[in-house]
Amino acid sequence: GRHTCMNAMLSQDHNKLDSEFIYFCILGMVKEDAFVSISFVQERISRQFNYKASYRKVWKAKQKVISRVFGDWEDSYDLLPRWLDRLEYCQIVSNNVVDAHFYKFHRVFWTFKPICDAFNYTKPIIQIDGTFLYGKYRGTLLIVTTQDDNARVLPIAFTVVDGETFSDWSWFLSNIHSIKSAVVNQNNGWQPPYGYHVYYIRHIASNFNHWFKNVKLKEELIRIDYTTCKHKFVRRLEQFREISSEIRWWIDGISLEKWSLAHNDEGRRYSHMTINLSEARNKILKGARNLPITTLVKCTYVRLVEYLVQRLGQANAELAIGQRYCRNLIDVMHNNQ
């Protein structure tokens, strides 16, 4: 009779399952969520057709969808300077610098005027961290954030660079002066007493674990860092240093004032020991880090507008019921009664 046996095993890649075919299959999916992972798409294709599409085919198909929906990758670099200049003309962008070498994109910095104005009413600190871009062209997105008295994160500036080199960091910090001048004279520079540089414990602990490959010691270092009493800190640190000469050499290479909460004598950290970059990523950058660069910049603008409008609504609601202080301060006063 007719042969009806089916292979229970998942078949390998099929030559008919090319990137063009996959493109039409995933068009709606990627249009809805541009940050959908390649592995998720592969799983979807395998369930639908019982064939396993290669990573490269799915990646190429996804890039085609992104180019169709959000614009060509190469054209996006040409459009970026004109788009930013137009926003600056409309007094929306406060400062943008596109650094191009021989008609080739090198790096870009941008911020928005309402954000610079809001910086007058936040804590006088800035937090800097980076995240990778995922797309046809790779790079690093550096983000400057601050916090208000309600412990809410406010992204205030962005830059895209090739990598976190000394040249890129110097260029980035020089552009942040346009924001810093909202609080102090930008000609004063970043050196004390006009600016102080400290590290986040996440970076210290990560670098320590990179050197020594010891999670337990990394966790102990974090506990030492959060110790507020100087006497206890000195005792715990000395015990930590005695573990090995290599650890002693490593820990002595970092000034205590740059990482220890116990040596935060003048409160310049405002109790900030780590950076909540995930909040900025989720609110402003979710799904945008694998998009063409002009679309990425547009996303930061549109989502910051939505974020500020939401925050304005919350503030107006609190004022309408006669609330004089922010919720975070009220909770602190209540807990200390």
Name 130's bridge partners: 142
Return the H-helix or E-strand segment holding 32: helix 19-32
Other Cβ atoms within 10 Å of 109 Cβ, number: 23
Token output for 294: 């002009």
**Angstrom distance (rounded) from CA 152 to CA 111:** 18
pLDDT at 14: 64
Q: ∠ CA 74-79-82 to the nearest 5 degrees?
A: 155
In this prediction the pTM is 0.76
pLDDT at 200: 81
Residue pair 161/184 in contact by the 8 Å Cβ criterion: no
pLDDT at 237: 94
Q: Give me the helix-helix angle, 245-252 and 201-212, nearest 10°.
A: 150
3-state secondary structure of 118: helix
Please give the C-alpha separations between residue 292 and each of 138, 161, 287, in angstroms, as whole numbers.
Answer: 10, 14, 12
pLDDT at 183: 46
Q: How many residues does the chain have?
A: 337
Q: ∠ CA 192-274-110 to the nearest 5 degrees?
A: 70
Strand ranges inside 57-103, DSSP E: 93-101
**Angstrom distance (rounded) from CA 26 to CA 5:** 30
pLDDT at 12: 64
| Exposed / middle / buried, residue 137 (Cβ in 10 Å: 0-12, 13-18, 19+) | middle
pLDDT at 138: 81
Phi first, then psi: what are they for 145, rounded to 5°?
A: -125, 160
Query: pLDDT digit of tens for each residue in the chain (337 aa)?
Result: 554 554 444 456 666 778 888 888 888 888 887 778 888 989 988 888 888 888 888 888 888 888 888 888 888 988 888 888 888 877 666 666 776 554 678 889 998 888 888 888 888 888 888 888 877 788 888 888 888 878 788 888 899 988 778 888 888 888 887 665 544 455 556 666 667 778 888 888 999 999 999 999 999 999 998 888 999 999 999 999 999 999 999 999 998 888 888 887 677 777 676 666 556 666 677 778 888 999 999 988 988 888 889 988 988 998 999 988 888 888 888 888 7
3-state secondary structure of 105: strand
Return the H-helix or E-strand segment holding 161: strand 153-161
Sequence-ordered list of residues with C-beta below 8 angstroms from that of 115, at least 6 positions apart, any chain: 94, 154, 155, 156, 157, 304
pLDDT at 8: 44
pLDDT at 147: 82
Show me where the domains of the chain are located: 19-70, 75-196+295-314, 201-263
pLDDT at 257: 84
Residue pair 37/76 in contact by the 8 Å Cβ criterion: no
3-state secondary structure of 208: helix
3-state secondary structure of 182: coil
